[in-house]
Amino acid sequence: MIKLHNIDRRYIFILIFLGVILPLFFPIGFKLEISENVRKVHDLIESTPADSKILLSFDYDTSSKPELQPAALAIIKHALSRDLKIVCMALWPVGATLADEIYKELAHDLEYGVNFINLGYKTGGLVTLQALGKDFPEVYTKDINGDNVNDFPIMTNVKNYSNFAFVASFSTGVPGMKEWILAANGSYGLTVTGATTAVSAPGFIPYINDQKQLVGLIGGLKAAAEYESLIGQPGKAISGLDAQAIALSIIVLFIIIGNVSWHIENKREKVI
């Protein structure tokens, strides 16, 4: 223990590096207990009839990508397995690019303009969301590539929120999920669900109530991992959670070793 107390810190750094990097390539898949809020998001998609249109809003940037991108990817995979048609948009400038990254990753399962479309970023926040509820085609006339949305079958008969089964916001701040709850659900009765960063999740729990202002919530990487487990498609959330668990375990182990060895050495010095 005394020898471990004096171990070269570089060995600790190497162990933590391996503890982080290996699970990312070789996921362990620790058993997860599925929370009720995550299950509600899953059940909402499961209960949505095939061929329904759903609206996904990418309301985050690259700083929140590690937490929210896995959740967005898992929801899209689940929606595709249910034959739902996915309309993406963004209230944050980088959000449209992040949605495009998912499209490229799943291009073999998607038919652009038929079961998937990326409408791109739209400024305006709450004002834009109110306008979408009145006249969706007036707000979005072009997609992210500058093509006329009327040229795509997926946008046929899309007039307002009533043409969507629900909206899922992947939110890291303002504008984001709160604005969707206030505008889409509060003013137009559109069902709202989605994912937030772990630090933001507690602030949205009160909206999951009897009035169904918010139906379920994927809060942070752990909840995203739960969702991946629930749909049986392990991804970056599960591997990321594995890496966190192992790295933290190594840190705790060496904290214990450090304290125990210190007490042993201190006691030995007193005896001498």
pLDDT in tens, 117-138: 999 999 999 999 999 999 999 9
> Mean pLDDT for the chain?
91
Query: How far is Cα of residue 140 from the mean position of the Cα atoms in its chain?
Result: 24
Indicate if the alpha-carbon torsion angle 84, 87, 92, 97 is positive or negative: positive
54 within 8 A of 86, measured Cβ to Cβ: yes
Q: What is the DSSP string of 208-224?
A: SSTT-SS---EEHHHHH
Structure tokens that stand for 142 in this block: 């072009």
Q: What residue spans define the domains of the chain?
A: 2-23+246-271, 32-233
Q: What is the pLDDT of residue 272?
A: 59
pLDDT digits (tens, 9 = 90+) for 10-68: 888 888 888 888 877 877 767 788 999 999 999 999 999 999 999 999 999 999 999 99
Mean predicted confidence (pLDDT) in 88-108: 95
Beta bridge partners of 169: 57, 194
Higher pLDDT, 237 or 138: 138
Q: Please write the tens of the pLDDT for every residue from 172-226.
A: 999 999 999 999 999 999 999 999 999 999 999 999 999 899 999 999 999 999 9
Which contiguous run of DSSP H or E holds residue 89? strand 85-90
Instruction: Say what the pLDDT of residue 271 is.
Output: 65
**Sequence-ordered list of residues with C-beta below 8 angstroms from that of 249, at least 6 positions apart, any chain:** 19
pLDDT band at 6 (very low <50, low <70, confident <90, very high): confident
The highest-level CATH class for domain 32-233 is alpha beta
2, pLDDT greater than 70: no
